[in-house]
Amino acid sequence: MKRTGIIVSALVLLMFLMPASGQQLKKTSEQKGYKIGDVATDFRLKNVDNKMVSLSDFKSAKGFIVVFTCNHCPYAKAYQDRVIALNEKYASQGYPVIAINPNDPKLEPIDSFEGMQQRAKEKGFTFPYLLDDGQKIYPQYGASHTPHVFVLKKENGKNIVRYMGAIDDNYANPNDVSHKYVEAAVDQLLAGQPVALSSTKAIGCGIKTAKN
């Protein structure tokens, strides 16, 4: 009898808890930035050459490969050469790479502006590498980890999100990649086609932000 009472009250408690937690999850996912088709915000962030960079500076661009990346994360580091290759392949076709470091350098000193300058020099970055100073941009995009890519297409003067997610399907071994997600998306956009696989998931380093 006592046991039934416990089970019943547990069930009642669960009934109260479940919808609440479900709602909470929905809420946070809604707050987590862009969906495919949303207009992406422009920004004015400092590049490693000390100049300010905005998407609107790229008058002739057809779109952008925005990569949230950083210095410290092993996954981001594993993809650096592939990000350079993406810019080499697509900048001339109208889709330049714009790299943004979203981390708070206070929490990750390697990701300081000076650290970024050093990395850009070492690796010979051919694209802007910007610091999201004050961390105002990455939350709007909904970047959650590094590396996290957003492919934007310019449509009527607006930058529309057409792909979000991973660069390809094998961070560890570039020679064993079966799906080049970003390349496929940009190729399809260049061909005037819709992006077939517009969102992918990959493990990455959570963006470092001070807890409020």
Partner 1 sequence: MQSELSGVSKIKIYMKNLFVLLLSMVSFSALSQETSKSTTRPASHHKYTLKVVNFDQLQAVLKKNDNKLYVVNFWATWCKPCVAELPVFMEVNNLYQFNPQFKMILVNMDDAMEIDSRIKPFIAKNKIQMDVYILDDNKRMNEWIPAVDQNWSGAIPATVIYRNGKKLSFKESEMNKKELVQLIKNYL
User: Using CB under 8 A as the criterion, which residues of the chain lie in contact with partner 1 when the complex forms?
Assistant: 17, 21, 25, 28-29, 32, 73-74, 108, 144-145, 148, 165-166, 169-173, 176, 178-179, 200-208
Cα–Cα nearest to 64, from 164, 144, 131: 164
What tokens does 38 get? 């949303």
3-state secondary structure of 93: coil
Residue at 126: amino acid letter: T
Least gap, CB of 144 to partner 1 (angstroms): 4
Would you say 57 or 169 has its CB closer to partner 1? 169
Least gap, CB of 62 to partner 1 (angstroms): 26
Would you say 38 or 48 has its CB closer to partner 1? 38
Contact 65, 128 (CB under 8 A): no
Task: Count CB-CB contacts under 10 A for residue 39.
Answer: 12
What tokens does 24 get? 């909470």
Would you say 29 or 126 has its CB closer to partner 1? 29
Of the chain, the end-to-end C-alpha distance in Å amounts to: 47
Would you say 82 or 148 has its CB closer to partner 1? 148
What tokens does 99 get? 């790299």
Least gap, CB of 61 to partner 1 (angstroms): 27
> Beta strands 148-155 and 158-165: pairing type?
antiparallel
Would you say 55 or 73 has its CB closer to partner 1? 73
Contact 168, 180 (CB under 8 A): yes
Least gap, CB of 199 to partner 1 (angstroms): 9
Least gap, CB of 176 to partner 1 (angstroms): 7
